[in-house]
């Protein structure tokens, strides 16, 4: 028998932004600004890798179908369930701004 858990970690205190792949059209200024903003968000809202791994292991041991790590991940998951179109619109606009600035590859 196979059991699956879905993990929603939100922000984790790692240096993932420093290793991001950027579009070739992204300026050095935009790259540095994106990394600084992500560092700030992760510093304020991120969970340590130890906390995240403990919660994931506990969720798997309890056979939880959904393992939500941070409060903001809980809010986003709830919004997605209650108002999927609104959530998609907000996330899409945020992603679109980053895409336009060349932060992400299309």
Distances in Å between the Cα of 92 and the Cα atoms of 24, 30, 98 are 21, 19, 10
Q: CB within 8 A of 105, min separation 6: which ones?
A: 21, 22, 23
Using an 8 Å Cβ cutoff, are 30 and 101 in contact? Answer: yes
Banded pLDDT at 24 (limits 50, 70, 90): confident
**41-93, pLDDT tens digit by residue?**
888 888 999 999 999 999 999 999 999 998 888 888 889 899 999 988 988 88
């Amino acid at each position: 028998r196979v059991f699956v858990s879905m993990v929603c970690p939100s922000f984790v205190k790692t240096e993932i932004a420093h290793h991001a792949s950027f579009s070739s059209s992204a300026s050095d200024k935009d790259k540095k600004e994106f990394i600084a903003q992500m560092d700030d968000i992760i510093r304020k809202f991120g969970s340590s890798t130890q906390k995240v791994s403990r919660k994931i292991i506990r969720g798997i041991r309890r056979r939880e179908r959904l393992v939500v790590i941070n409060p903001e991940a809980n809010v986003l998951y709830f919004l997605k369930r209650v108002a999927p179109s609104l959530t998609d619109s907000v996330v899409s606009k945020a992603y679109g701004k980053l895409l336009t600035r060349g932060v992400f590859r299309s």
